[in-house]
Amino acid sequence: MRFEKDIVFYISNNIVEKINNCIKLASPNEANGFILGYIQEVNNNNGDFNYNYYSVSFHCIESNKGSTVSFLLDDDRKILELSDHLMKNENLKLIAILHSHPTGTTPSSTDKHSMKYYHNSGLKKFTHLIWIIVDSRKKEMNGFIYLRNKLTQIKLILSTYENLS
pLDDT of residue 110: 86
Q: Sketch out the chain's domains with CATH numbers.
A: 2-159 (3.40.140.10)
Q: Which tens digit of pLDDT belongs to each residue from 49-76?
A: 999 999 999 999 876 555 445 555 555 6
Terminal-to-terminal C-alpha distance of the chain: 31
The identity of residue 117, as a single letter, is: Y
Give the number of other Cβ atoms within 10 Å of residue 83's Cβ: 21
pLDDT at 165: 45
Q: Which of 34-38, 59-63, 127-131 has the lowest mean pLDDT?
A: 59-63
111 within 8 A of 143, measured Cβ to Cβ: no
Contact, 130 vs 154, CB < 8 A?
yes
Task: Concatenate the DSSP letters of all residues of 96-158 into one string.
Answer: EEEEEESS--SPPHHHHHHHHHHHTTS-GGGTT-EEEEEETTT--EEEEEEETTEEEEEEEEE
Contact 134, 21 (CB under 8 A): no
Is pLDDT of 117 > 80? yes
pLDDT class of 154 with cuts at 50, 70, 90: very high
8-state DSSP, 27 = T
54: Cα within 13 Å, side-chain hemisphere? 14
Distance CA 22, CA 52 (A): 25
pLDDT at 2: 87
